[in-house]
Amino acid sequence: MKFIHFSDTHLGKSEAKLEQREEDFCKVFEEVIDKCISEKVDFVVHSGDIFDRARPPIKVIIFLVKQLSRLKELNIPFYIVPGSHDIGSDGTLVSVLDEVGLLINLASKRYIKNDDKKIILSGEHFKDAFLCGIEGRRDNISEVYSNLEIDGHGKYNIFLFHHITSEIADKFADINSSLLPSRFDYYAAGHWHGFAKIKHDNGVIVYTGSTEYNELNEMIDDKHKYCVLVDVIDGKSTIKEIPLKTRKIVFFEVNCEGIDSREITETTIGKIPNDQNGAILIIKLSGRLGKGMKSEIDRNKINDFAMKNGYLYTKIYIGNLENPEAPRISTKARSAIDIEKEYLVKQGYSENEISIAEKMIILFGKKLSASELESTKSNAVQLIKGVIIENK
């Protein structure tokens, strides 16, 4: 038994208002479908965010219908759970494609039954596989997982979900990994745009990542984008990462420390490689600026030079440039609270003002459920009133 797993295809994504970038996301999706057919897989698994937004352009819908129809003609089922980008206020287009038989939405209501506080989740059996899943909503999601019961089992069990687990990125986690249902061989994960493969329970969690570059950090950190081919023999799986053809990224940094403001533009241009044939150029500027330096960086000149040398477009990242008026604060081996306090002191805030800020940061830094939000608002109001009274 063989299947291909991919995720976060974000069809319809428009970057810098360029039609070429929208086409990039479609091309790589078609590439995955080509691989599904050439590998003669038994079925396909998608972990959500098939679209970039809940109401994608009509031409993108037509494109997807054509690609899914290619699989349907060969009797290759396409299993999916909607991701956070697929879900709108009135539902998801994934449900429409499910209704007409082009895919199987495993998060459909027909697979979910509520029994008292328990959420009983069933799914689909196909050959030796049992598949079920949860859509990418975030509201009370830990509570949903805590009350989940699985009604079904096969020789090889696959759970589809679209949430970040604590094993991937604890700071940005939607759920603790311990909440995932047990007894699954393969956890087909989505929402995290990088590739990751982690042992869990008696199986493995696999984030295939996005199929094209979506954000700046991906363009800088990810060397490849993947889909995954899973070959199952006697209940044991072999997982093979398949690199995908994506838009080329060229990235470099410019240290602006000590460079005269008038020279930054020319220094940056001098580092741009020539003849890149449609690549995206990412330039990160860093260092402490002199007065007026930011305004003297000629972005248009840099971008025009890059386009003449074959680049599709240029992103100039200035987030690491330091304001000359801002105090320099060491962050090495220090807590976030200490760093925040030193910054506020050097900005001239009073002890009372810093006290309010510290308490508010702690209060709103917590991950809150919907039921906790109102009480937190009330606590914040009381906190501010208390400090006002103290200062009178």
Q: Give CA–CA dist 152/133, Å, rounded.
A: 12
pTM: 0.81
Q: Mean pLDDT, to the nearest integer, of 176-204?
A: 96
CATH 3.60.21.10-classified regions of the chain = 2-243
The pairing of beta strand 313-322 with beta strand 280-288: parallel
pLDDT of residue 29: 98
Q: Give CA–CA dist 236/160, Å, rounded.
A: 18
Q: Looking at domain 2-243, which CATH architecture does it have? A: 4-Layer Sandwich (3.60)
pLDDT at residue 200 greater than cutoff 70: yes
pLDDT of residue 340: 72
166's CB contacts (< 8 A; 6+ apart) are 173, 175, 176, 177
Burial status of residue 236 (CB atoms within 10 A of its CB: 0-12, 13-18, 19 or more) = exposed
**CB distance 173 to 203 below 8 Å:** no
Residue 262's pLDDT band (boundaries 50, 70, 90)?
confident
pLDDT of residue 258: 72
**Residue recorded with tokens 């038989």:** 101
pLDDT (tens digit per residue) in 292-330: 555 578 889 999 999 999 999 999 998 777 755 555 555
